[in-house]
Every structure is written in C-alpha cells, then in structure tokens.
Amino acid sequence: MKEKYKDLFTPFTFPNGVTLKNRIVIAPMTHWSSNPDGSVSEVELKYYARRSSGVGAVITACAYVAANGKAFHGQFSADRDDMIPGLRKVAKTIQEQGAKAILQIHHGGRLCPPELVPNGDIVSASAVPAERPGAKTPRALTIPEIEELVEAFGEATRRAIEAGFDGVEIHGANGYLIHQFFSPHSNRRDDRYGGTLEKRMTFPLEIIKKVKSVVAQYAKSPFIVGYRFSPEEPERPGITMDDTLAFVDVLADQGLDYLHVSLHDFRSTPRDGVEDLNKTRIAYLLETIGGRVPLIGVGSIITADDAKEALDTGVALIAIGRELIVDPEWVQKIQEGREDEIATCIYPDQQEELVIPDGLWEQIMTRPGWFPVKERQ
C-alpha cells in the first residue's frame, strides 16, 4: 500500500464503542432483487458476499418498515417478524466477510408505486405529489397513523437486533417519507408535525428517539444507530442548505453514532441558503457539527485519490456505492498497491463475474449515465 492511502485503512471507533477495521463503508444501493413478498433472495446474499470483504461496514439496501412503505420492486422487508430469518442471513453473510452489517430502514411515502402498497393507498406528510412525471397525489397521514409509523421504525430496529445486525441507518434522505416530513414542499401541515422548520423536524426526531429506546431495551451489546439525510432538494419551496444546517445542529445532539450525507459528489457546493456558495456542503456540515458526531461522506468516489481527497475533508468515513459494484476488489487493490488496476467501467458481459442480480443489472444497462457502461473494443 502506498503511504498516502494509509489513512483509509486506520480503524475507526463509533461513539458507542463499535470499531470498524477501516474508513470505507459500502453505501446503501437498491438492487431490485428480493423476493416478491419482501423476503431475502439467494442472489442478494451472493451479491453482498462478493463485495463485503474489504470494507469496514456494509449499509444494506433499504428495508421497508411498513406494508405501505414499499418503494421498489424487489425491495426487501423489515415490516414483520417472519422476515427475521432472511435478514439474519444478510447480516451473517456480511459479517462472515469481516465487515459490520448495518440495516437501512425506510418508508417510501409518496414515492411508492401504487401497485406495491395495500389498496394503492400512497401516503405522505401532506397531499402534495412529487414533481416528477406520472406522480400520484398521496393521502395525508393522520396523527395516529404517524405515531404508528414511528412505532414501525422501532419494530424494524428490534427485528434488526434479533437478526444479528450491528446497527441500523434511518433513511431520512432522497425524497422518501422522513425527508418528506422535513421538506416544505411535501409537508404543508399545520399541526405538531409541520408549519415551521422546527415542527418539520418532529417526525424524524421522534423516530430517532424511538429507535434509540428500542436499542436500549433489546440490544445486548453496542448497536450502531445512524441517520442519512439529503442537504438540499431542487423543488421550490424545498429544503435549502440553511434548513439542513439548522437540522444537523439538532441531529448532532441526539446521541447518534453517525450522520450520513447523501451527495452525488462529495465536492459539491450549495445551491442557496448560505452566504458562500463556493464552500462545499461537506465543509458547511463539518463546521456545524463541530466534532459532536461522526459524518460519513459519499459521492463520486471512483479512484484511490478520490477516496483520499474525500477523507481529507475531515469526514470520519467514506461511503462508496457504484464503484464497489463496478469493482468488488476496489479496497483490496488499494491495500495491495494495485490501485492502477481498479476497474472504472462495466462491460455488458460482466454480470456473472461481478455477481450483480438481474434487477440491478437491468437498471444498470437501461439507465444511461447512471453507471459507466462500455462495449469491449
């Protein structure tokens, strides 16, 4: 290993005492490959086994916490106890490769396709459709229903503990239900769950409190609790950088083990809401957090030098998604001084070699620009 990459491979200990062997984690990536009933499939286990051995931790694809929260075909479930045996297989598969296993827990809200939820009843903070082609108008959740969903996140956490996971990540990013409650675009409520910036924080904060209480009740050893968020959204009205900095200032005092910012590029700068639009989002976030909680950074980390640059910003850990699908040996190649051998594109004949499930492979091949796909010369 080259000396300049050494910091990527130093151990990291979370506030609760759990230690990762290095600073690299697999970012949560949807793979569209679970069974129709939400149970874990064999191909998912092979997919995780193929790419978990080099990293410090794996944050899984999102698991829905309630039947009306399923956002993807082939998404796996944590909404009922008969899912625990399959979830246990996922945790064990990852841990056998030497990585910690973190289950991402999620509800799709207004982004759920009607055919995937009971009676096509799509719900959200308010009856406001997403700004995307074909978007359906959701039904606004009642307060008792919101309280039930808070409990559902707690129950999903209990199942993760029983399944042997090392932690959970609460998915508050990317336009899904928790994000919808924080967003002034999707949350037009005038009760305790909306109206002001502070009230829009209520739902995520209640979920964090519930998850932490379940961990305190059921976990027999230290259990990681993280929270993922998106710093801005393009809609207007929508989440702006100053909204997020106010929220992160509160999140940093919630006793979480980490915060995880969802970015397309770790070098990206804010759209608006702050004075200096040339200062990176990561820099603003780290300044606001002030060392109170570890931050995971993600986005456009392809080469070893990208990873080093990202870690040098001051984030505690770097999350890598697409590149570990493109090259499952990415970490090992850097460790062995072979970073010049890292693959940076996928060829159409590599599905079997890379152990990529059919659902994910179809997305890779049919969504131009999402992955670097090239024909062999």
**Would the pTM count as exceeding 0.85?**
yes
What average pLDDT is seen over the chain?
97
What digits encode the pLDDT tens for the residues 95-153? 999 999 999 999 999 999 999 999 999 999 999 999 999 999 999 999 999 999 999 99
Residues of the chain with pLDDT > 90, as a percent, come to 98
pLDDT score for 377:
79
Average pLDDT for 304-329? 97
The SS3 of residue 41 is: coil
Among 28, 9, 7, 10, residue whose Cα is nearest residue 227? 28
Distance between CA 179 and CA 233 in Å, rounded?
10
pLDDT score for 83:
98
Q: Give the fold, CATH level 3, of 3-366.
A: TIM Barrel (3.20.20)
Among 188, 170, 183, 152, residue whose Cα is nearest residue 227? 170
pLDDT score for 227:
98
Angle, in degrees to the nearest 10, between helices 84-96 and 42-51: 20
Has residue 54 got a pLDDT over 90? yes
pLDDT score for 299:
92
Annotation says 227 is catalytic = no
Residue at 363: amino acid letter? Q
DSSP 346: B
What digits encode the pLDDT tens for the residues 264-282? 999 999 999 999 999 999 9
Quickly state the pLDDT bin for 376 (edges 50, 70, 90): confident
What are the sequence ranges of the domains in the chain?
A: 3-366
What digits encode the pLDDT tens for the residues 229-244? 999 999 999 999 999 9
Average pLDDT for 179-189? 98
Distance between CA 276 and CA 362 in Å, rounded?
41
Element (H, E) at 318: strand 317-320
Average pLDDT for 330-358? 96
Element (H, E) at 86: helix 84-96
Which of 47, 48, 64, 176 does the annotation list as catalytic? 176
